[in-house]
Amino acid sequence: MNQFDLSPFVSQFLGAAEFQSYAILDGHIHDGWYIHSDHPKYAETILQKVNKHVFTDPDGLMENIYQITSFLQKKYPSQKQLTLIPTISGIIFFQALDGTIWRMYERIPNCYSTQITQNLRQVYEAGRVTGYFLKQLQDYPV
């Protein structure tokens, strides 16, 4: 992933907040960065550039993510959920002049991802949380 100025994209979500970025090097679909900022509400976030070769309908992708995360946040308000951060203008993603699609999420504290499991406990937990996620969506109006 090439290093370049993320300011034009971060500012769409965080305004004039000062920030530092750290590339997420183990992503396999999207380019991503951890963003640490002085924003009063969103100090720890993840910025992603959506891979439009994999997701050819970014509008549909983002609407689907928004609908599902909103449903879960309403149904389970005390549970920490994946949370999209809207742009300053209130939309759920930013499309740059070059056509790239950018989105930002709140970073969930104490969470991490792994590409290769180290033990059976990690395999168990991955299956458990996937099943729990699907169970929470059993009432989702499809």
Residue 49: CB partners within 8 Å, gap ≥ 6? Answer: 9, 30, 31, 32, 100, 101, 102
Rounded-to-integer distance, Cα 64 and Cα 121, Å: 31
* pLDDT tens-digit readout, 84-136: 999 999 999 999 999 999 999 999 988 877 888 999 999 999 999 999 999 99
- List helix spans (H) across the chain: 7-14, 58-75, 120-136
* pLDDT tens-digit readout, 9-47: 999 999 999 999 999 988 778 999 999 999 999 999 999
Alpha-carbon distances of 48 from 51, 120, 126, rounded to whole Å? 9, 30, 22
Kindly report the pTM of this predicted structure: 0.90
pLDDT score, position 1:
47
